[in-house]
Structure 1
Amino acid sequence: MKILISTDIEGVAGVVHHQQVRAGNPEYERARVLMAHEANAAIAGAFDGGATEVLVNDSHGDFRNMPAELLDARAQFVLGKPRTLGMMAGVDQGVDAVCMVGYHSRAGGRGILAHTTNSFAFARVLFDGQEMGEAGMYGALAGEYGVPVVMASGDDVFIAEHRSLFPHTVFVQTKRATGQTSGISLSPQAARDAIRAGVAEALRQPRRPAPCVLPTPLAVRIRTQTPALADLFCQWPTLERLAADEVGFQAPTVQAAVRTINCLSAMSSVLR
């Protein structure tokens, strides 16, 4: 049984502030270690649950956060960018299930450090009228490969937002949001213990959840953070201007939608 663990940082226990998730300061250096230890807990849980092979996708920012020397030697690691499948890179390697560790609420959500892909660029992302966060987009991308999301961890708002998309997934709550940059967190060790147990429980289930499969093609609608970003994105010929701060496009697959969104995210850097 081959498992992919996609690890973000905003949902990690003890992480509540922007300084903790941005490279170049001591707070980030501590948080990336916390991230690595939660990944290790998920790896241990995967092997406890019967996995024979584990891939870990570093899924935050520039995709090279966790110190390699801290990571469990039994796993292999997907690092760096650009990569076609982004936070779900590795799902095309014949994996049987996905675990999402350290994930967070979507843009406009009330969760800790809530955003979708790029907080500078995107205020809201919708697939066929349904608001999507990173977990939703990438869980549906895994679904196109026939792979279910069996476990996910993060704050209470993240969990509440995603239960309908992943109704049979094992969720592990690492903290409770009391604001965008405040919360009540488990200790790092308690969170790791819960993640390890949650992954093992998910993999020991007699029947895995069905993959999250969205009907395609998709009508994608994006509300940008400023009209200037909508101006920029509409330089792409296949995008349509829907409002001063909204653009839209048609995507034949979830993968095409996610890849386009990631390209728009990269484009937005010219206006920073």
Structure 2
Amino acid sequence: MKILVSADMEGATGVTWPADVLPGHAQWERCRTLFTDDVNAAVAGLLAGGADEVLVNEAHWTMRNLLLERLDPRARLLTGRHKALSMVEGVQHGDVDGVAFVGYHAAAGAEGVLAHTYLANSVTGVWVDGVLASEGRLNALVCAEFGAPVVLVTGDDRACADAAGYAPDARTAAVKDYVSRYAAVCRPPAVTAAAIQAAARAAAPLALRHDPVVTGHAIAVEFDAEHLAGAATVVPGVEQTGPRRVAYTVPDMYAGIRCFKAVTTIVSAAVEEEYG
């Protein structure tokens, strides 16, 4: 049994503030250890629950945050940027039986610690078939197309609640409780490690490949400024549908997430430092 761990950082133990997750800050250096420990707890639990192989895919920012020298030696680490499927790179090869989302967070436009969808500020909402979509929902739809169920989600309490909408059978472990976008009631690392490991152990038996679920989708993206919507239309098939909103349709979520990556890349380049 092979399980892919998609590891994001905003939902890690103790993380509540931008400097906790932005490379180059002293707090980021400190939180890298907490992040790696959360991943190690998941790896240990998944292996104890029956997994034979665990591949950890870095999914945060530069995708070079986890500390390889602290990683459980029984796991392997896929690190670095510019991967075809970004946060769930590796699921497309047909050998992944289940996927774990570790350190995940709520969607842009929803309540949650450091809530966002791909871009920290510029994207104010993403909808798939009319439903507000977190990164978890987007990535779960991609995984479903390759027959891999999401079996575990960890993050704040709002991220765990969000998971019920896209992976209702998955096990969850909340490491902190939302107070505001930049504040949370945090559990100590010893407590969260035990909770993550227990949830992962229970999640591993759920890693049962299913038939691919491939379907078309209508995707809408809203930005915090009008010019960003205009900039996004340089991507073929993306049309402006409102002052700050674009939309596009895709035959499957593989195309959907790749188009979304293109949109966010273009939009990032169109943001000016002072005026956005």
Q: Indicate the larger mover: 66-75 or 14-23.
A: 66-75
8 Å CA contact 1:150–1:208 kept in 2: the answer is no
SS of equivalent to 2:178 = strand
| Deviation for aligned residue 1:57 | 0.6
**What pairs with 1:143-154 in structure 2 (closer than 5 Å)?**
143-154=144-155
Match of 1:51 in 2: 51
**What pairs with 1:1-272 in structure 2 (closer than 5 Å)?**
1-93=1-93, 94-204=95-205, 208=208, 213=213, 216-272=215-271
Distance 1:237 1:47 in 2: 43
| Deviation for aligned residue 1:121 | 2.8
Distance 1:204 1:235 in 2: 44
Aligned pair count?
270
| Deviation for aligned residue 1:92 | 2.2
Q: Residues 252 and 178 from structure 1, CA distance in 2 versus in 1: closer, same or farther, beyond 3 angstroms? A: same
| Deviation for aligned residue 1:216 | 2.3
> Which ranges of 4 or more aligned residues in structure 1 deviate by more than 6 Å?
209-212
**In the alignment, residue 11 of structure 1 is paired with which amino acid?**
G
Q: Residues 176 and 132 from structure 1, CA distance in 2 versus in 1: closer, same or farther, beyond 3 angstroms? A: same
| TM-score, normalising length: structure 2 | 0.93
**In the alignment, residue 259 of structure 1 is paired with which amino acid?**
R
Distance 2:156 2:171 in 1: 14
Q: Deviations over 1:118-151 (max 9, x none)?
A: 1233111111111111000001111000000111
**In the alignment, residue 80 of structure 1 is paired with which amino acid?**
G
**In the alignment, residue 18 of structure 1 is paired with which amino acid?**
P
Q: Deviations over 1:76-118 (max 9, x none)?
A: 1111110111100111240111111110000011100000011
Distance 1:18 1:131 in 2: 23
| Deviation for aligned residue 1:174 | 0.8
| Deviation for aligned residue 1:269 | 2.6
8 Å CA contact 2:147–2:209 kept in 1: the answer is no
Q: Which runs of 5+ in 1 are unaligned?
A: none
Q: Deviations over 1:45-104 (max 9, x none)?
A: 111011111100111011111121111111111111101111001112401111111100
| Deviation for aligned residue 1:19 | 0.7
| Deviation for aligned residue 1:237 | 3.5
| Deviation for aligned residue 1:211 | 8.2
Identity of aligned residues (%): 33
Distance 2:153 2:209 in 1: 13
What is the RMSD computed on CA atoms of the aligned residues? 1.6
Distance 1:154 1:36 in 2: 14
**In the alignment, residue 2 of structure 1 is paired with which amino acid?**
K
| TM-score, normalising length: structure 1 | 0.95
**In the alignment, residue 265 of structure 2 is paired with which amino acid?**
A
| Deviation for aligned residue 1:228 | 1.1
